[in-house]
Amino acid sequence: MTKILEASCENQVVTVDDLPVDDTPILSEGVAASEGFTFLDGNKRVYIPKTSPDLKTTLTQLVDALDNISSALSALDSAGFLIAATAGVPSPPVASGDISALNDAKTALNNLKDNLR
């Protein structure tokens, strides 16, 4: 009968209730500390990390990058640039629709992150 236990992994050592579970294969690409589950079936065992914390971190970084891009575009768009053909009159903002789309994407990613369990 298979048992599923909450576990953690740090420095390639899997622990359950602070006790090491020796020779446990770790199904993960990363080497960072993680929380997850250890599946035990007789002499067989495997550790599988929870992926939602990693995904939340990735989404947070992506939202931060979109926020920086949106802010930079807003600053450039509101500053305008001089149009030689109109005797140096500043250009009107032209990227507001694109900036709005970036902000919509940022909101959607934040909602996705908040809904992860």
Residue 13 phi, psi (nearest 5): -115, 120
Give the contacts of 66 (CB within 8 A, at least 6 positions apart): 102, 103, 105, 106, 109
Per the CB < 8 A criterion, the answer to whether 8 and 33 are in contact is: yes
Kindly report, residue by residue over 32-88, the tens digit of the pLDDT.
Answer: 788 999 999 988 999 999 877 778 888 889 999 999 998 888 887 776 665 555 566
pLDDT of residue 84: 58
Read off the pLDDT of each residue in 99-114 and give the average, rounded to a whole number. Answer: 88
pLDDT of residue 99: 84
pTM for the predicted model, two decimal places: 0.55
Q: What DSSP state is assigned to residue 23?
A: T
Average model confidence (pLDDT) across the chain? 83
Dist CA 117 CA 107 (whole Å):
18
Token digits for 33? 């500390």
Dist CA 15 CA 80 (whole Å):
58
What is the layout of strands, in order, in the sheet containing 3-10? Answer: 19-20, 13-16, 3-10, 34-41, 44-49
H helix intervals, the chain: 52-79, 96-115
